[in-house]
Amino acid sequence: MMRNQFITDAYIGIGSNLQNPFFQVAGAMEQLALIEHSELHSFSSLYSSRPMGPPDQPPYVNAVAWLKTRLAVHPLLLKLQAIENEQGRTRDGERWGPRTLDLDILVYGNYSLKNQVLTVPHPGIKSREFVLYPLHEVNKNLMIPNLGAIHRLQPRCYANGLTRLSL
């Protein structure tokens, strides 16, 4: 496996709205902490959000994790997809449909990439409250490539019913 020799800050969006979403997100956090050549630096609070896609689905539980990793971006993506699969994720082709677990690479260092497999920074980052609010919580000083400072983006995004969950 090809590895990045440098430590990169990777921010991972986490979401679930099926099969006990709170449990799914907590399980994802545990699995993220076990990724080889990586360290779970911190994670946000859990948030409840409205679904983006079809309206006839349950609300989501969302969070963001901050990893420090030596993995290159594509091997990291494969690790995230393996965690999704272990937690019952099925890919039926329905865009923004309900799911047990969704793990997205939101930001990977200062890296910008766009191909058929992956776009980094995540293309929806600046308009999704369930990403911006927890991302701002984990790193208020984050600079997002091609978008700028998180502390300037987050206040411009309407909360849209986003609620921080108390544990």
Of the residues 91, 95, 104, 152, which is catalytic? 104
Q: Within the chain, where are the H helices?
A: 21-32, 73-86, 129-138, 150-153
Residue 1 DSSP symbol: -
- Residue 121: is the preceding peptide bond cis (ω within 30°)? yes
Residue 102 designated active-site: yes
Of the residues 3, 50, 56, 89, which is catalytic? 89
Residue 92 designated active-site: no
DSSP E strand stretches across 44-153: 47-49, 60-71, 102-108, 113-114, 119-120, 143-144, 148-149
Residue 9 designated active-site: no
Residue 3 designated active-site: no
CA dist 94 and 140 (Å) reads 33
**Distances, alpha carbon 79 to alpha carbons 6, 37, 72, 119, in Å:** 18, 11, 11, 16
Of the residues 92, 99, 152, 156, which is catalytic? 99
Q: Which residues are catalytic?
A: 89, 99, 102, 104
